[in-house]
Structure 1
């Protein structure tokens, strides 16, 4: 199953009763395992969870720590991009050259990289004074 197919399948499980904007994400870890996540809204905005964050949490729970590719899909007129917070979360576990596939449910795709989505990301290098 491709990452887009995995993201498409998990998107159906999204809990989006307020926005009706279901999002699915699937990522491949360095181990080869595929992890998925969908958005989960909450009536007490902004307490929901993005699909990308859910997939990353599943990856960490599964014992993996490195993203080698990620895909995000939504029913939108153009390929949906991760929000700013999720871009930073993805950058925590993926190199700048990691492929990001953005897709619509109608089959439109756009391929980019983590670095293109989040230039100048905040990383661990800022945390040390060596």
Structure 2
């Protein structure tokens, strides 16, 4: 992270100087004793402000063939890459309001069913998603 910060500051400082811009000094209480943009300040800033972000979604969107923004096919296989599948909440277009652990487990279970159907002779999935039978069973309003 430290080398990334150095790269960005060196890269953008020339651009900012050309247009009269400057970096914004965000007040981090634990880092007030250090000079802004010094190595000690950056280390302090990273220690106080950086944290892992859970529940990331949409980084490998799933969708039909006609969706150009989707990178994962409906059978959870990555497009244009053979034998690689994605089975977590990164395929979702939007995050659920709760933790994604249950969603990840459901997607993993679904992938298990897909792989069993592909590799096991005469395998019939326990739960069929998006089939015509399912649509017929739903009551009409």
Question: TM > 0.5 between the two?
Answer: no
Give the TM-score normalised by the residue count of structure 2.
Answer: 0.26
Structure with greater strand share of residues = 1
Structure number with greater Rg is: 2
Higher RCO structure, 1 or 2 (CA under 8 Å, sep 6+): 1
Structure with greater helix share of residues = 2
